[in-house]
Amino acid sequence: MISIRCARRYSSLDNSKLSSIIAVNSVQSFQQSLSSNLALTKLANAYQNGKFAIEDGEGKVSDGLNSTRTLPLVRFPKKQVFEEVLNDPKVGNWRKPATKWIRLGKRLLRMYVNGIKNTWQAYFDSRRLLQRIGPSESMVVSTYRDLEFQQIQNRSNPGDTVRLALSRKEFQEIHRRREFWKLPSFFVLFLVFEETLPVICYLVPSLVPWNCLTPGAYKKLSERMIASQEQLPYRKLGPAVRYTTPFALESSSTIDLLKSFKMLPRAKAVLCEWSGNKSSLCELLAKFHQYLVLDDWFLLQSILNTEDKTILSESELVNAILERQLYRSGEDLNELVSTESGQKVLVWRLIIYWSFRFQNTIVTGGTKTFSELWGVNNVGILNHPGSQKLLDESSLPYVTHKD
């Protein structure tokens, strides 16, 4: 890993050269941000011109970017199942009330079976990939290092492009493969409880493989994850980004963040607290920071530097918003992505986040690597939304306004 201790030499950032906070409080202020931020201009044009789009799971999504088999469903099938029963002439009216719930239960059980199969398959598919590129524990670190090395090397050969050893889909399936270890206990629950399993999954969603979560359980987990947002450096120090090494955070804050990012199991968290092993906690937080930079790079590279359309699934969009904590407590991300205006809000939040982080970087047409711009392992920028406040439906017209 890029040494966190050595990274302290980057503690003084030239804020005049950094990306400015993007304003979304009026049409005029957003237009000013648009004119001063090339990354924002490029991404806004890509989205408005259809180069970057969102589709539901049934549409055609970019195969190398999406791993929908490792993500939960966006829409709970209750409404669809109930309508099918109501419109089924083979089911008598007196049977319809009971049939609705029976079919819904069967649909959910089928979802769990498919989720178990997909988690199993993704684990073994990614294992074959890891035999080629190295162990999963060092995958993020080595890929991040390779990205920055190639970007620096390509300065002397401007025509060369960065070619990493894996696609975003493969990168995500390696990251999500740890869900495999939930299968034994989940399979026992599946056999024991059967029809009542959805209730158990809602009450204790942390036991459920990620792709088996219902929208209700997903919202419950999202509420737990957003609670750690107050521990982020930018929330404590103000919106202006300051260089912050992971060692600068209190151990309790680091543990809360890592647990919410699914990077630290509860048992290991207790062990780290008991032993006072802060170093491994800081390495994990730096690793998550690098993971997000890489994931952002994969998406931006596809949107801005390829000719093909970049089409993300709704479930990938929701997951990206969740990991970056670009939502407020009480918001239902699955409900938002299911409406036209709500989906636009989520996409524009992501665009603003990217534009703030990656303005002046190589992937958006600038000259710097991410570490050169912000400093090595600068968790001060971790999950910074890029704006003073999150965009919502009331401020959406300010960013979609056309002269």
pLDDT value at 326 more than 80? yes
Q: Is the pLDDT of residue 396 over 80?
A: yes
Residue 286, helix vs strand vs coil: helix
Beta-bridge partners for 387: 22
Quickly state the pLDDT bin for 196 (edges 50, 70, 90): confident
Is residue 16 predicted with pLDDT exceeding 80?
no
Which pLDDT value is given to residue 13? 55
Mean pLDDT to the nearest integer, 367-375 = 95
Q: Which residues pair with 313 in a beta bridge?
A: 55
Which pLDDT band holds residue 19 (cuts at 50, 70, 90)?
A: low
Burial class (CB in 10 A: 0-12, 13-18, 19+), 77: middle
Q: How high is the pLDDT of residue 4?
A: 42
pLDDT score of 5 more than 50: no
What number is the average pLDDT over the span 19-28?
A: 89
Mean pLDDT, the chain, as a whole number?
Answer: 88
With a cut of 70, say whether residue 1 has pLDDT above it.
Answer: no
- Token pair listed for 173: 């399936």
> Which of 7-16, 103-112, 388-397 is predicted least confidently?
7-16
Beta-carbon neighbour count of residue 275 at 10 Å? Answer: 9
Tell me phi and psi for residue 319, to 5 degrees.
-65, -40
pTM of the model: 0.91
Cα distance between residue 92 and residue 315, in whole Å = 36
